[in-house]
């Protein structure tokens, strides 16, 4: 049976993480029902190998980050991502949801800010290329904010299609780096239409071997990146991206939790997302 992996660490709860706070304080308990599904497996996120971090980050950045209280959380967030992607590539998992703190899309090679102090995808892509020769990746970023760190990490790398839904329109790096302006106030339907029009056709043309999704829910109404979306939007979004991944890369789809500090939204969407990932189509 092909399984959906859920990557979490006990250290992600009970701490006031930068920007997102203690939004995982009731995890993984709130996933109890879905973790009982026969094809869902929970894993403890391991810390990433620091040697791998040195391949994508400047030493000055790493020295600063090492001294921060959130470093251990960031190491495990990145390590969970690397492990999840490896298991998906090896066919040991069909897809995965990776919980993250203190790491993510605002971390580039030499600067990091906004609650994310290590790159999750820089080390992951590097690792899969070196160990398994995987070349082509797509990154979808639907956090409210521009994924400047991931953009800097992969600029000039035309084997990475980075499609970022934020506040500007841009197409650069021979069409492999794309920004889509979703507007400050939008609706679930309008946003999903943009995904169908601006993301899906590009992934079909690009034909990646794996799809990563930085899924911030700070876009939800009442959160700090509010764009007027409802909690159920995130479920519909994952449906579309999962279908697309199944069409282009045998369902190799790895979701990273991104921004968002509404605990009720996190507790509502992530069990449903795991259930959806585990569902046969
Ligand atoms: Zn954000
Ligand atoms: Zn952007």
Query: pLDDT per residue over 219-232, tens digit each?
Result: 999 999 999 999 99
Within a domain: 280: no
Within a domain: 277: no
Among all bound ligands, the one having the nearest atom to the CA of 261 is 1
> What percentage of the chain has pLDDT greater than the value 70?
99
Sequence-distant (≥ 6) Cβ neighbours of residue 32 within 8 angstroms: none
pTM, full prediction? 0.98
- At 80-132, the pLDDT tens digits run 999 999 999 999 999 999 999 999 999 999 999 999 999 999 999 999 999 99
| DSSP character at residue 22 | S
pLDDT at 100 (0 to 100): 98
Among all bound ligands, the one having the nearest atom to the CA of 141 is 2
Tell me, in angstroms, the distance from the centre of ligand 2 to residue 91's CA. Answer: 31
Within a domain: 278: no
Give me 61's structure tokens.
Answer: 């950045």
Within a domain: 279: no
**Cα(182)–Cα(239) distance, integer angstroms:** 19
Give me 102's structure tokens.
Answer: 């203190």
Tell me, in angstroms, the distance from the centre of ligand 1 to residue 42's CA. Answer: 26
- pLDDT (average), residues 31-42: 97
Among all bound ligands, the one having the nearest atom to the CA of 170 is 2
- 162 has pLDDT over 90: yes
pLDDT at 243 (0 to 100): 98
> What percentage of the chain has pLDDT greater than the value 90?
99
- At 176-206, the pLDDT tens digits run 999 999 999 999 999 999 999 999 999 999 9
Residue 236: is it exposed, middle or buried by C-beta count within 10 angstroms (0-12/13-18/19+)? middle
Tell me, in angstroms, the distance from the centre of ligand 1 to residue 217's CA. Answer: 8
3-state DSSP of 131-149: HHCCCCEEEEECCCCCCHH
Tell me, in angstroms, the distance from the centre of ligand 2 to residue 37's CA. Answer: 36
Tell me, in angstroms, the distance from the centre of ligand 1 to residue 260's CA. Answer: 7
Among all bound ligands, the one having the nearest atom to the CA of 219 is 1
C-alpha pair distances (Å), 237 with each of 130, 221, 277: 31, 16, 12
Sheet strands side by side (includes 160-166):
40-44, 4-8, 95-98, 253-257, 210-215, 137-141, 160-166, 177-181, 170-172
Number of domains composing the chain: 1
Tell me, in angstroms, the distance from the centre of ligand 2 to residue 39's CA. Answer: 34
Within a domain: 89: yes
Within a domain: 129: yes
Within a domain: 190: yes
Total Cβ atoms within 10 A of residue 29: 10
Tell me, in angstroms, the distance from the centre of ligand 2 to residue 128's CA. Answer: 24
Give me 17's structure tokens.
Answer: 């993480």
Q: The CATH number of the domain where 185 resides is what?
A: 3.40.800.20
Within a domain: 167: yes
Q: How confident is the model at residue 1 (pLDDT cuts 50, 70, 90)?
A: low
Among all bound ligands, the one having the nearest atom to the CA of 146 is 2
pLDDT at 280 (0 to 100): 87
| DSSP character at residue 248 | H
Tell me, in angstroms, the distance from the centre of ligand 2 to residue 44's CA. Answer: 31
Domain residues for 112? 4-270
Closest of 92, 106, 77, 83 to residue 225, by C-alpha: 106
- pLDDT (average), residues 23-42: 98
Tell me, in angstroms, the distance from the centre of ligand 2 to residue 170's CA. Answer: 8
- 56 has pLDDT over 80: yes
């Amino acid at each position: 049976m092909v399984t959906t992996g859920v990557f979490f660490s006990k250290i992600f709860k009970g701490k006031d993480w930068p920007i997102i706070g203690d939004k995982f304080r009731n995890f993984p308990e709130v996933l109890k029902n879905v973790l009982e599904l026969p094809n869902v497996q929970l894993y403890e996120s391991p810390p990433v190998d620091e040697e791998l971090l040195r391949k994508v980050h400047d030493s000055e950045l790493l020295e600063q980050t090492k001294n921060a209280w959130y470093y251990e959380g960031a190491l495990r967030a990145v390590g969970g991502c690397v492990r999840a992607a490896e298991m998906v590539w090896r066919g040991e998992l069909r897809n995965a949801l990776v919980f993250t703190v203190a790491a993510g899309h605002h971390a580039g090679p030499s600067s990091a800010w906004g609650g994310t102090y290590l790159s999750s995808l820089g080390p992951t892509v590097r690792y899969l290329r070196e160990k398994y020769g995987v070349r082509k990746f797509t990154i979808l970023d639907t956090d409210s904010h521009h994924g400047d760190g991931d953009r800097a990490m992969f600029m000039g790398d035309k084997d990475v299609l980075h499609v970022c839904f934020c506040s500007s329109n841009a197409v650069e790096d021979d069409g492999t780096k794309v920004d889509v302006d979703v507007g400050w106030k939008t609706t679930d339907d309008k946003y999903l239409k943009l995904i169908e029009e601006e993301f899906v056709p590009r992934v079909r043309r690009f034909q990646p071997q794996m799809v990563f999704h930085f899924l911030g829910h700070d876009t939800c109404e009442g959160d700090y990146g509010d764009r007027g979306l409802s909690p159920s939007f995130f479920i519909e979004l994952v449906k579309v991206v999962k279908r697309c991944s199944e069409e282009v890369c045998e369902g190799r789809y790895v979701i990273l939790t991104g921004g968002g500090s509404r605990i009720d939204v996190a507790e509502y969407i992530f069990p449903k997302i795991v259930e959806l990932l585990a569902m046969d189509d």
